[in-house]
Chains A and B, each alone.
Chain A
């Protein structure tokens, strides 16, 4: 019989066996849905990630902005840019400034006011109203310099809702600079002193009458040569000559008087003002009176001594009267003083900042560019009205749906960059571009690439694990096909069909099912992709416009192909097996069993696998000597070593099992393999991760995947091998219970008799639930560990931040007021913090600002500063041994004198005691610590992997230890030691040398003091936690500047600064000793007590109500308190993890659906193929209920086995993670019960209908049924 007959048989079996055929198609459909869906999900996720990164860019491709030192762009530059980039579809000017704003009691300290032109190019899109979705016309809205439109993002931040009526008032502050003309300095004439040694005359100095004139009459000394000289000397303070154009000397005198005025300059040279210059000319006092041009000395500073020499030209008595020596300027010297003025702006509209286009570009407020120019001009009188901070350029429209080519963008940016003229810095001689070109889009392309590689690996890996469930399902159904058909195959063989024919006809069936399933699966996958895209849009909060499912053609074709191939391949093995069927046995209905001992081939394969395993194990220590061998204790303490251990032991024991199965029973051999394969990763997670592996920062996804895969495979195999005894136990249990004795006799026996099928079914659930339980366990475990350490360490409950330092009024203390608010408040700890928003002279310097290498563009970091006083931490305690210590303020890194904690577990008590000692050093201002050769660039440079950053605690860079790093030395070779500061910034490594601007000198330059970073606040425990900048990362309004963190100084150094103390006297930024702005509050309530919420409310009401409470006491209605409840902050920081979890949830949902459908398929097939057995059951007296129960029980048991494996594995894996973080494991029983309920529900739903039908079949008919 040939191909034709194969086709005929295939066609008939396809037509006649509808249920079975449909279930096979369904299985392939699901498998392909899974493949396509996972691919689309992964691609969409990548895209939405990129979109969310780039959303703030709107349609902008790049921008040309003012470089900070030189020149600024003007309206005319639009033409220039358009000439350089003729392909640009839109160029618009923008002028931005940052201001604090307040609406009602809501305050935001930095909101961007962006001035744009109302007729911006169409290429940038439009503004849309956030309520109506209608396009907004700026011309009609922005009528004056006090009308603005607000972004919906900012509106939400300020607590506005769609119900808020517009227009509404918004209070802001503008810096108003007023200038007063300064009189140019004159040299005080009384300060001249006569140098007697050089003076050869009798002189009569008459200067007492006035400080403004110098009267001198000279007559010869008796008997001395008639060269009459009087020399005056004067010490002159520093004077920047660039401010002055000329020097004016006003003098009258006799005609024979000669005058020489000599000034010293900072470079050692000098200049003279004299009437002696030209000896040929007659001496003329008026020459002196001519204005002396200072322009050649514009770069110089006057300093040191000045000399005034007065001589008689002819030795005769002479006299002179100098009335003034003055520095003059042609334009008046104006001294500016700035004052903050409050202004009310009117919000006339709110635009949707999630709508792609120009709206998404702006997160603050929009004004007309002219109006921003007016506001900025107030702040800086020197600058003209015609200025623009940057030009935004769009090279194409609609970036949200079509991505711009990276190469093209780069090319255009390069063209513009090249066209920008350079200017030479007169000080350094470096040339620099007068404007900068920047393209966030371009930067994000590369950033996204790095992150996506990481994310992609994870997603692909997870997707792969889930896809396995699809493969399991298809294989399962195919296997059933064959088992099902052994009888038929026997008949066909008996009537003369050859093996090839049988294989052929089955393959034809499979291909048909594969193609049909592939097509349906594609449709399903696309549908799923769409759903996921919508879901992602919600997660990223970018709005549905910006997240579209990404369906790449290749992926779809590939997935469908894989589906078909999978259908066929999983069919081939069973088909081959079918063709080998023993005709007689098949006809007699004897199920083929594969329990015989292994053949020689398998043993050979086993030997190969064993050898491979040994080889991989030997890589550690023998082949690659950078790892220690497994025979050493050190060979087990890094994750890279474990990678090989896992792979090696997996291979080794699989091979051993294969070999052993030739000699001992297969069950025993497989048990050994299964236990070893499962045990190795379990050992890694449970034992090694907790105790042996000190550093888990290198936990790459591949180790995790290998571990999880081995755990799943091992556990499934283990259960599968031991299914018969397990089922016997179940039977023994069930037959004891009345009413289900019959069920107990049938269902467990059925499960263990179809071992492969049963295994595949529970394996689906085992895979899915292992992942899900792991994930579900991680979140509460993390949360509980944070809460636990917080509670253990006597943390604060509430943080209150004032928008500006509390009022400096005698008898009024905000701290005291807070105590009055609620009697449950036990401790209020006030802090002074300061953050320089735009004043880069207050930024932290990472390199020596006095050195010539210093580059203010790369070496300044906008960190905040804070002062921590001994009273805040120690209270009445004098040192760390004093039990009256007030606040357990934990550190995670410590000064040299204390040393770093050993990496292994440190108890909270030890940490606390170390922290206290560190604080003692901190408060001892005499303590200094060497600076180490570490820098920020260690963290940022390319040879450092992202893996080196310890993201798990965000307590900083964990990849190095100070022992390995050299101490910094000065030119003389002695170790550089600095006073210490602590930080909560995750960027600054321990031991780094930093410079803090203390004060601003009269000449306008900050005076820097060097410090060593000696400690890091523990971001997990009390103290550090509430202040930690890390927690801002998870908040909704992520602010990079805030996230950078703070530097904390002790009182001594804080008092040297002008922004935390009154070092320069009372200036606008100076702070009185107890003028705090941040308050940590402890209460008698438990951390998660809702009462804390009402305290927080009371505090806000007290502070934020106009003309009442604190505002009335301080006589200032601009005070705003914002409260943060620590517990909610913890919850917030969990949000990020939860977002990741929700990605996983997508996959897991997928898996559960597969599992559910798989169960249905299996149940339907079970019933249809077991009709005869059901007939027998009915014949010997099984009631209908028990028939149905047997069908249900089989599914429920398989589901529960899957669940049990999942829970056990999930918990074991989580134990590893919990150990790593030193957290107590929290098992999410609720979730597990939900899964249990879900599986039972699926099993019942999947089994009920077929089961009901089964129980309804008349027994006589059922008994007639043959295969």
Chain B
């Protein structure tokens, strides 16, 4: 099995539950047409609970596609994805949506906050979608934002916030539902280096305190090195696997 392979190959000690298991994943764009693009070509990957993983690779290697597959923003062509012990291949669109809402948090390069909603409104929206009472949702969102140091920016619109602040809001929105996994697509790509460091510190903190699983796509070596593991991709496949310099388990040893 994949898990065993990985264990053997990289010598990873299996002491935590795998939270994400990908096996035999393929993604082809414009399937069946002459301009078919085979973006993911049979990819296997396992992420355990509490892992903080970076995916690196040159442009067009399929990083973002892979992330979209994991986040179920796009349909895969074939293969299996199991998140939090749920095999998602049989989920209907409705189930998939609630699955996405409950299990996955997204952080994007362009933040993708609703421009017409204030910070706190952006953050509480996933809770409202879960059907949580508006008042409760608002309180939770405020709490979280305060925790993330955004207590004085609660009612600002995204356009009134700096990039780093926007990304904090985005992080808060991703965190608020306590997802099984947070996916970050170049989360610091749009930020300067100081802000980027701040945001990465934040990610690290979340990862360590909450045992929050994070998968980040980046082409920034420095960012990748903040993670426990770095997965290198080329041509839609994982080329090799690397441990981050600050791997907590390494440090723990």
Which A residues contact B (CB, under 8 angstroms)?
A: 588-591, 732, 735-736, 738-739, 741-742, 744-746, 749-750, 752-753, 1172-1173, 1175-1184, 1186, 1258-1261, 1263
Contacts and interface: CB of A to CB of B under 8 A. Distances in A.
Given A1181-B98, A1184-B94, A749 B128 contact: no
Given A735-B134, A1184-B97, A1258-B73, A1179 B128 contact: no
B241 to A, nearest CB: 25
Interface stretch (B107-115, B198-206, B211-219, B226-234): B107-115
A738 B131 contact: yes
Contacts of B121: 745, 749
Contacts of B114: 746, 749, 1173, 1176-1177
Interface string B2-15: 00000000000000
B131 A741 contact: yes
B173 interface: yes
Contact of A1181 (B68, B126, B159): B126
B116 interface: yes
Contact of A1178 (B97, B131, B134, B177): B97
Interface in B73-130: 73-75, 93-94, 97-98, 100-102, 106, 108, 112-117, 121, 124-126, 128-130
Contact of A1260 (B68, B126, B131, B133): B68
22 contacts: A588-B159, A589-B159, A591-B115, A735-B128, A735-B134, A741-B131, A742-B128, A749-B117, A749-B121, A752-B116, A753-B116, A1176-B112, A1178-B97, A1179-B73, A1179-B106, A1180-B100, A1181-B177, A1183-B94, A1183-B129, A1184-B94, A1184-B97, A1260-B74
A1175 B114 CA distance: 11
Given A1180-B125, A1183-B97, A1259 B73 contact: yes
A742 B130 CA distance: 9
Nearest to B69: A1260
Contacts of A591: 115, 159
Contacts of A753: 115-116
B187 interface: no
Contact of A1180 (B68, B126, B133): B126
A732 to B, nearest CB: 7
Contacts of A752: 116
A750 B159 CA distance: 15
Given A735-B134, A745-B121, A1263 B129 contact: no
A736 to B, nearest CB: 6
Given A735-B134, A1258-B73, A1260-B73, A1182 B129 contact: yes
Contacts of A589: 115, 159
B128 A745 contact: yes
Given A589-B159, A1178-B97, A1259-B74, A741 B116 contact: no
B74 A1261 contact: yes
B129 A1186 contact: yes
A1180 B106 contact: yes
Q: How large is the interface on B (under 10, 10 to 19, 20 to 34, 35 or more residues)?
A: 20 to 34
B251 to A, nearest CB: 34
B129 A1181 contact: yes
Given A1176-B112, A1181-B101, A1181-B126, A745 B117 contact: yes
Among B124, B133, B134, residue most surrounded by chain A Cβ atoms (within 10 Å):
B134
Given A589-B115, A746-B114, A741 B74 contact: no
Nearest to B121: A745
Given A590-B159, A753-B116, A1183-B98, A741 B71 contact: no
Given A735-B128, A749-B121, A1181-B129, A1172 B112 contact: yes
Nearest to B93: A1184
A206 B121 CA distance: 137
Contacts of B131: 738-739, 741
Interface string B228-249: 0000000000000000000000
Q: Is the interface of A mostly helix, strand, loop or mixed?
A: helix
A745 B141 CA distance: 14
A1261 B30 CA distance: 13
Contacts of A739: 131
Given A590-B159, A1180-B173, A1183-B129, 19 more contacts: A591-B159, A739-B131, A742-B129, A745-B128, A753-B115, A753-B116, A1178-B100, A1180-B100, A1180-B101, A1181-B101, A1181-B177, A1182-B129, A1183-B98, A1184-B97, A1186-B129, A1258-B73, A1260-B73, A1260-B74, A1263-B73
Interface of B: 68, 71, 73-75, 93-94, 97-98, 100-102, 106, 108, 112-117, 121, 124-126, 128-131, 133-134, 159, 173, 177
Contacts of A741: 128-129, 131, 134
A821 B133 CA distance: 73
A749 B116 contact: yes
Given A742-B128, A1179-B73, A1180-B101, A750 B94 contact: no
CB-based closest 4 A-B pairs: A1181-B101, A753-B116, A1260-B74, A741-B128
A790 B182 CA distance: 77
Contacts of B159: 588-591
Among A1172, A1175, A1259, residue most surrounded by chain B Cβ atoms (within 10 Å):
A1259
Contacts of A749: 114, 116-117, 121
B236 to A, nearest CB: 16
B100 A1179 contact: yes
Among B101, B124, B125, residue most surrounded by chain A Cβ atoms (within 10 Å):
B125
Given A742-B125, A746-B114, A732 B134 contact: yes
Nearest to A1256: B93
Contacts of A588: 159
B169 to A, nearest CB: 12
Contacts of A590: 159
A1111 B133 CA distance: 84
Contacts of A1184: 93-94, 97
B13 to A, nearest CB: 34
B94 A1179 contact: no
A1180 B106 CA distance: 7
Contacts of A1259: 73-74
Nearest to B101: A1181
A1263 to B, nearest CB: 7
A940 B166 CA distance: 78
Contacts of A1261: 74
Contacts of A1182: 97, 129
Contacts of B116: 749-750, 752-753
B125 A1179 contact: no
Contacts of B173: 1180
B112 A1179 contact: yes
Nearest to B130: A1181
A310 B100 CA distance: 144
A1258 B74 contact: yes
Given A589-B159, A745-B125, A1179 B71 contact: yes
Contacts of B126: 1180-1181
B94 to A, nearest CB: 6
Contacts of A1180: 100-101, 106, 125-126, 129, 173
B237 to A, nearest CB: 20
Contacts of B133: 736
A734 B194 CA distance: 41
A753 B124 CA distance: 19
Contacts of A742: 125, 128-129
Contacts of B129: 741-742, 1180-1183, 1186
A590 B111 CA distance: 13
B128 A744 contact: yes
A1181 B100 contact: yes
Nearest to A589: B115
Contacts of B115: 589, 591, 753, 1173
A588 B161 CA distance: 11
A742 B131 CA distance: 9
Contacts of B117: 745-746, 749
